[in-house]
A and B are shown apart, each in its own frame.
Chain A
Amino acid sequence: MTRGSAVRLACRLIAATIALGAIIDPAVTSARPSKRVVFVTTADSARDRRLEDAVVNALQRKFVVARSPMAGSSATVVVGDKLPTSSDDTPTPAFVVVADSNQAGVEIDRVEAPSTATLDERIPVRALVSARASAGRSVEVTLRAGGAVVDRVTSRVRSDSTLSLPLSFVPVALGPVALRISASLGGTESSDVADAMLNVVDKRRSVLFYDPRPSWMSTFVRRALERDPQFVVTSRVVTSRNISTNTGQPPATLVDAATLGTFDAVVVGAPSALSYADVGGLEAFMRRRGGSVIFLLDDPAPGPFERLTRTSAWSSSRGTPGVFALARDDSTTLRAGDVVVPATVPAAATIIAGGRKAVVWENAVGAGRLIVSGARDAWQFRDAGSSTFDRFWRTLIADAAATAPPPLIVETNPALAKPGETVGLRATLRDVALSADAASTTGTVHASVTATLEPGTRVRMWPEGNIGQFSGVVRAPRQPGVYRFTVAGGGRTAEMPLIVSADARTDAPVSRAVSTAWATSRGGRLFQVRDIAKLSTALDAAMEQRSERTTWHPFRAAWWIVPFVLVLSAEWWLRRRNGLR
């Protein structure tokens, strides 16, 4: 056999081997390193879609990327500034990828809005928006209710900071309303969205005016409230012995706790004329009902009422009328020239109006509030040109009445949920929770609460650490819509709506520090998008290399055709070179 013929034979054997191997297709089982699975997730897919895609592109060459929870995932990469609420679906190590800190962006940190309101109010909504690398740009925040734009605010960013932007909403119908706040940064595509739920209820604040003797100040404050549809005003003015002028069905005395408990706030004119029994009744109203009491002083005479004010030394002044603005709204003012203030402000008291002078101040009495007004002649300056007398008292008393807890308090977290999301429910029995304050001896408290997510999902409620509080969890229904929690306890029933929406956005962004700590605690790190090239290496280092015995077919690769063609071609060339056919 010549050398040439040997080479030709070898080529033929190689080709035949390749062909035979392809026909037989042997299976080989061996330990091989497997491609690890990385779970990439984001809490706000609409906002962080691009960032998420960039992460996936960076990882998919080396890893198997799963965008939904998958068994066997070896690591997690969270994209964006919002962390997952549950650790169940985040295998460790966990990394976080956020936008570059020098990339202009805007985020809604928090939305402040009341959870409940009435139809006769305008609802203040405050959006706290963080602007990053956006100096000189404008931030536009839009408030939508039911899809319609109801307010819009634009603010210019001076430097990286958090902007507090006020918006307003006017309810047009009863029931739950989904509010959507969206923020966008001018000149960029950066934007953020946050949702809140507002429950508009048909409830008027019940206020009792009690004057142990006629009082000018109380009369005009009462008239200011009587003209406002958000209040139901009941009054009793004791004009003489056993003679009074009543409006509505006021309690005969302030000692009747059961009747007094139906009011949200009690306004007392001429409190110096209150008896010890009256003062005791008011104290019980505050401590056991959590109600608010407003004293309208018009006479510096001493009396049992000073037990509640915790001061018996007063300082009177009469001079040029001054203007006293509400501490939290300097456009709401009161004017008075004859003012009485405590000689020393009681401990923990808060000044509501008067600046450094305690003209109107409040203090806590148990779970209730006591507000004391020393502007004795403010009623003489009640015309609109002198002050905002009516608005001052309506605002103050509405606030006081709003904070008085109802008999059964129901809260949901979140109030707006995605389908299948876990929703927490908390119920508080007011009378039970506050009864401990009045109890002089220890004992046991019996209470029970039942809750249902309409139409028929029972929610198990368990007592929490605080007396009178119960909590439970439930999964939000799969079908988007408006649902209702019905909670019963202590002979009372309360309802709270739950809005289920597929695109609900209620997660608040977290700071970079928190994200870093979260990732670090899970064996990972925080990356900015400019360092995304290093993410793959970091994941590789953090994850365990896995090899597993797998069965594989070596001859199923299409590349075998190349050597097959090469050897056959070589054999043919050699044959032809040698003059063979």
Chain B
Amino acid sequence: MQPDVASLLAFLARVRRRLALRAAIDGAAVGAAVAIIFAIANWPSRGATVSAVAALAAAVVVGIVVAILVTANRRRQVATVIEGRVPASRNLIATAAELSTKEARGSVPELVFGRAARLVDQTDPAAIVPTLGAAVVAAAAFATWLLVAARSVLPVPAALRGVSTAGASAEAGIQSVDVTVVPPTYTGRAAQTLRDPSRVTVLGGSALSLVVRATGEIVTMETLAPQDTLAKKGSAFAGKLVADADGYIALQAHRGDRASARRLIGLTVLPDSLPHVRVVTPGRDERFPDSHRTLSLTVEANDDIGLASLTMRYTKVSGSGERFTFVEGQVPLAVTKSGDRAWTARATWSLESLGLEPGDMVVYRAIAADRRPNGGSAESDSYIAEILAAGGVAAPGFAADVEEERYAVSQQMVIVKTERLIARRATMPPAEFADQSAQLAAEQRKVRAEFVFMLGGELADAPDVAASMTDINEEEEAGRESDILAGYNANAGHVALIRGIRSMSRAAASLDTTDPTAALPHERAALDQLERAFSHSRILLRALASREKLDLSRRLTGSLTDAIGDSRPVAEPTQSSESVTLRRILSDVSALGDSATRPGDRVRVHGDSALGALAERALRVDPSSPVLQEVSADLARAATAVSARRTEDAAAGLDQASRGIVRILRRELPRAPTRTVDVEGRRMKGALVDAIGVSKP
């Protein structure tokens, strides 16, 4: 073959190859564009990387193949393409190409070949068929596909994610939740923001602000309180609440009659604890022969957030019997503050300054308050410094409860405190007034208990283990009232004591209902009766009656003319509502456990929303229970796993939740008997016992 012809043919081949490359690049770009459309439409599956890449690869390959096939004819007429791109050729290359196919010989063809060869030597195939632009376009298409396919993990607006926020056919859903926690001002703590929390632990009284990004028309917020609707602000929904008790926040987006899955956020509220305060020194009761004494006092106080004050109060008690006088005061303390949360105070207290006489005592205690606006204060143990009288012991007639407050309480003191409480009523918040009234009622009951035990009486049966030993059975006491009226108790001192005890009961009942004004007359009546009782020292001895034994031989010997039997219905025990609810939740978890972990969109949708509802129900039973909080979290995790088709994680979450619920129910239910019914075995044993018939040594 002539060199010129070879050169021409080689040039034509290079151009042909570039045309094929260009077609492939164009085909790949078109394929990438098609893949972009697929990715926008979330085809073949949403969020599945492998499927998306496979779809891209397939589209690109198809595009390349189609492009090459479509441009095949063009490559066959490559000389025409070159003529179109190289005007200087003037049909030279086309002629040479045609001649080369016919094996032409002669001077003319040689001339044509020669000139064509010189022309192609000067021509660059890249200039005839540029591919750079096409490659840039293809690269841009690939980059665009990449962005579209990965948009679910990128912080792009929801509109670019292929989910229309305004379209009527779009599903309602919650994308993210921001919770900003603002602690109470007095704590001095900074606010913090949490993104998509599963549980929020806050201090009591904190303000929570929620910003919910969701697709939907409205977003509802449900807590233990009634449901609320969040206000729409731009593309988000906002709401506020104050955290004052354990519970939960359930958010749900709605569009028309469609609702999204509920987003459950557990809420744990930590109460602001009361301060701890104690009297370190002397730390015990002191008894002195005279009042020329000095007490070195050391007090320690701490609080979880911050202390506001630390003081020492005292009550000087003078007198005896029921004729006591009380003077209150405050001991000046030198307070050393090592930070906001721990304080120390010292004082050197001269008892002589109080003017104590033999037989007098002073009861003192430290009081610490934290920074809560409505005052959270705590008292230390109370201690006594007593000036002993000759041969004296602790004065009688006081209720000295060693388990609780160790200061002397008498009926006279109860009256004084009641009068003071009534006087301060106008300046006190109702909650504090009620609390103080309840404390006075407890003190009244303690005094009453002393006299009841003095009489050798017993309190009525109190099946409620939470009931105090000083609780009274009003019906029983009312029944005994008739005994007094009937004159059965001929002992006047005894009668006076009983009447005094009755009056104390009425006073305590009035104080319990936050009515100290009504209680005061009963308290004074009780004091009057006590003074009458103790003025009869001889009768006092008879008042200390011992319990009598029943004489069984006298039983069934009386007249039964007016006696009748009694018939009562069978007692129906009350079921614990919590147990019933938890059992239902356990049953639903077991039923869902099988269906929710099976594949299938329909089951998946029902499974995750049902599990979310169960998580909420579990938390509603007792939001403060750590076990139920964990159960709720497990169910919420299982719901998330079901919707993401992670069946193993869903099964594990359901198992954890089941075991948590069973752990709670196990504590409340009695153990089932395990013995089996074995008639024959028991017959044999009975026959053996009958045959033996003797006692073993």
* B673, B696, B697 interface centre (most CB from chain A within 10 Å): B673
Which residue of the partner chain, among A172, A342, A469, contacts B586 with CB atoms under 8 Å? Answer: A172
Using A168-B662, A241-B560, A348-B692 as known contacts, say yes or no to A403 and B673 having CB atoms under 8 A apart: yes
CB pairs A–B below 8 angstroms (30 shown): A114-B672, A114-B674, A122-B672, A124-B671, A145-B590, A146-B590, A150-B662, A151-B659, A152-B659, A168-B662, A169-B662, A170-B662, A172-B587, A213-B555, A226-B571, A226-B573, A233-B571, A240-B560, A248-B569, A346-B689, A347-B689, A347-B696, A348-B692, A364-B688, A366-B682, A368-B686, A398-B670, A398-B673, A428-B679, A437-B683
> Which residues B640-684 have CB closer than 8 A to chain A?
654-655, 658-659, 662, 665-666, 669-677, 679-680, 682-683
Interchain CA distance A359-B555 in the complex, whole Å: 29
Does A506 have its Cβ within 8 Å of any Cβ on chain B? no
Specify which chain B residues have a CB less than 8 angstroms from the CB of A433 in the assembled complex.
679-680, 683
Q: Are A148 and B689 in contact, CB atoms less than 8 angstroms apart?
A: no
Q: Cβ of B463: which chain A residues have Cβ within 8 Å of it? A: 223
Report B-chain residues with C-beta under 8 Å of the C-beta of A430.
Answer: 679
| 0 or 1 for each of B684-695: is its CB under 8 Å from A? (1 = yes) | 011111101111
When the two chains form their complex, are residues B670 and A120 in contact, meaning their CB atoms are under 8 A apart? yes
Interface flag for A244 (CB, 8 Å):
yes
Which of A117, A147, A152, A369 is close to B594, meaning CB atoms less than 8 Å apart? A147
- The reply to whether A344 and B671 form a contact with Cβ atoms under 8 Å apart is no
Q: Mark A404-419, 1 if CB is under 8 A from B, else 0.
A: 1110010000000000
A362 CB to closest chain B CB, in angstroms? 11
Q: Which residues of chain A in 144-175 are interfacial with respect to chain B, using CB atoms and an 8 Å cutoff? A: 145-152, 168-170, 172-173
Flag if B679 contacts A363 (CB, 8 Å). Answer: no
Instruction: Across the interface, name the chain A residue whose C-beta is closest to B568.
Output: A247
Chain A 292-308 interface residues, beta-carbon cutoff 8 Å to B = none
The reply to whether B689 and A409 contact each other, CB–CB distance below 8 Å, is no
Report if B156 contacts A (CB, 8 A). no
Residues of chain B within 8 A (CB-CB) of A368 are 682, 686
How many chain A residues have a CB neighbour from B under 8 Å? 85
Q: Cβ of B658 and Cβ of A150 under 8 Å apart?
A: yes
Most buried by A among B465, B590, B658, B685: B590
Which residues of A lie under 8 Å from residue B3 when comparing CB positions?
A: none
Say yes or no: B590 contacts A148, CB within 8 Å: yes
Q: Which of B555, B563, B654, B685 contacts A148 (CB 8 A)?
A: B654
Complexed CA–CA distance, A213 and B553 (Å): 13
B contact set with A: CB distance below 8 Å: 463, 465, 555-556, 560, 563-571, 573, 575, 583-584, 586-587, 589-590, 593-594, 654-655, 658-659, 662, 665-666, 669-677, 679-680, 682-683, 685-690, 692-697
Our pick among A148, A241, A290 for the contact of B682 (Cβ within 8 Å) is A290
Contact pattern, A 117-147, Cβ under 8 Å of B = 1, otherwise 0: 1101111100000000000000000000111
**Which chain A residues border B465 with CB–CB below 8 Å?**
383-385
A151–B656 CA distance with the chains assembled, in angstroms: 9
Task: Report chain B residues within 8 Å CB of A434.
Answer: 679, 683
Q: How far is the CB of A445 from chain B (nearest CB, A)?
A: 14
Question: Does A394 have its Cβ within 8 Å of any Cβ on chain B?
Answer: yes
Give the shortest distance, in Å, between B112 (CB) and chain A (any CB): 63
A216 CB → nearest B CB, Å: 10
**Which of B565, B566, B669, B693 sits near A347, CB closer than 8 Å?**
B693
Partner of A124, one of B560, B589, B665, B674: B674
A147 in complex: contacting residue of B560, B568, B593, B690, CB < 8 Å: B593
Nearest CB of B to A252, in Å: 11
CB of A500 to closest CB in B, whole Å: 19
- Contact A123 B655, beta carbon cutoff 8 Å: no
Point out the residue from B565, B584, B659, B689 that lies within 8 Å of A172, measured CB to CB. Answer: B584
Top 4 closest A-B pairs, CB basis? A402-B673, A121-B672, A149-B655, A172-B587
Interfacial chain A residues near B571, Cβ < 8 Å: 226-227, 233, 247
A476-505 vs B, CB cutoff 8 Å, 1 = contact: the mask equals 000000000000000000000000000000
Query: How far does the alpha carbon of A168 sit from the alpha carbon of B570 in the complex, in Å?
Result: 31
Are A239 and B692 also in contact (CB < 8 A) when A148-B590, A229-B573, A394-B670 are?
no
Q: Would A310 and B666 count as touching, CB distance under 8 A?
A: no
A544 within 8 A of B: no
- Do A232 and B570 form a contact, CB below 8 Å, given A310-B695, A345-B696? yes
Q: Which residues of A come within 8 Å of B, CB atoms?
A: 112-115, 117-118, 120-124, 145-152, 168-170, 172-173, 213, 223, 226-230, 232-234, 239-248, 287, 290, 310-311, 329, 342, 344-348, 363-369, 383-385, 391, 394-395, 398-399, 401-406, 409, 428, 430, 433-434, 437, 466, 468-469
Q: A228-B573, A241-B560, A383-B465 are in contact. Are A114 and B673 (CB under 8 A)?
A: yes
Residues of B within 8 A of A363 (CB): 689
Tell me which of A122, A232, A383, A384 has the highest count of chain B C-beta atoms within 10 A of its own C-beta.
A122
Nearest Cβ on chain B to A434's Cβ, whole angstroms: 7
Centre residue among B569, B672, B677, B695 by max chain A CB count within 10 A: B672
For B586, the closest partner residue in chain A by CB is: A172
Distance (Å) between the CB of A82 and the closest chain B CB?
Answer: 24
- Complexed CA–CA distance, A228 and B463 (Å): 14
Q: How far is the CB of A400 from chain B (nearest CB, A)?
A: 8
By a CB distance below 8 angstroms, the chain A residues around B679 are: 290, 367, 405, 409, 428, 430, 433-434, 468
User: In the assembled complex, which residues on chain B have CB atoms less than 8 Å from the CB atom of A114?
Assistant: 672-674, 676
Complex CA–CA separation, A391 to B465 (angstroms) = 14
Q: How far is the CA of A367 from the CA of B679 in the complex (A)?
A: 7
Collect the chain A residues with CB atoms within 8 Å of residue B654's CB. Answer: 148-149
| Chain B residues positioned under 8 Å from A385 (CB to CB) | 465
Q: Kindly state the separation between the CA atoms of A385 and B466 in the bound complex, as whole angstroms.
A: 11
* Given A145-B590, A168-B666, A241 and B696 contact (CB-CB distance below 8 Å): no
A311 touches B695 (CB 8 A): yes
Please, how many angstroms separate the alpha-carbon atoms of A150 and B659 in the complex? 5
Is B695's CB under 8 angstroms from A347's CB? yes
In the complex, how many angstroms separate the beta carbon of A52 from the nearest chain B beta carbon? 28
Measured in the bound complex, the distance between the Cα atoms of B463 and A384 in whole Å is: 10
Given the complex of chains A and B, what is the CA–CA distance between A302 and B597 in angstroms?
68
- A115: chain B residues at CB < 8 Å are 676
Name A219's closest neighbour in chain B (CB-CB): B461
Contacts known (A310-B695, A364-B686); A148 close to B593, Cβ less than 8 A? yes
Task: Tell me how far the C-beta of A197 lies from the nearest C-beta in chain B, rounded to whole angstroms.
Answer: 14
Asked whether A395 and B671 contact (CB < 8 A) given A148-B590, A243-B563, the answer is: yes
The answer on a CB contact under 8 Å between B563 and A240 is yes
User: Chain A residues near B697 (CB, 8 Å)?
Assistant: 344
B587 / chain A contacts, CB cutoff of 8 Å: 172-173
Chain B residue nearest to A147 in the complex (CB) = B594
Distance A402 CA – B673 CA, assembled complex (angstroms):
7
Scoring B675, B683, B696 by chain A CB atoms within 10 A of each residue's CB, the highest score goes to: B683
Apart from the given pairs A170-B583, A172-B583, A433-B683, 5 other A-B contacts in the complex at a CB distance below 8 Å:
A148-B590, A246-B566, A364-B686, A383-B465, A405-B679
Question: How far in angstroms is the closest Cβ of chain A from B638?
Answer: 12
A348 to B556, CA, bound (A): 39
Establish whether residues B673 and A243, one from each chain, have CB atoms under 8 Å apart when the complex forms: no
> Are B674 and A243 in contact, with the CB atoms below 8 A?
no
> Chain A residues with Cβ under 8 A from B575's Cβ?
229
Q: Which of B567, B594, B666, B682 contacts A364 (CB 8 A)?
A: B682
B32 to A: closest C-beta gap in Å? 47
Q: Which of B565, B568, B662, B682 contacts A151 (CB 8 A)?
A: B662
For residue A243, which residue of chain B has the nearest CB? B565
Contact residues in A for B670 (Cβ distance below 8 Å): 120-122, 228, 230, 391, 394-395, 398
A11→B673 CA distance, assembly (Å) = 91
Q: Which residues of A contact B655 (CB under 8 A)?
A: 148-149
CA of A168 to CA of B674, assembled, Å: 12
* Shortest Cβ distance from residue B1 to the other chain A in the assembled complex, whole angstroms: 50
Q: How far does the Cβ of B666 sit from chain A's closest Cβ, in whole Å?
A: 5
The residues of B that contact A287 with a CB separation of less than 8 Å are 686
Decide: A123 near B677, CB < 8 A? Known: A243-B564, A347-B695.
Answer: no
Q: In the complex, A497 Cα to B594 Cα: how many Å?
A: 23
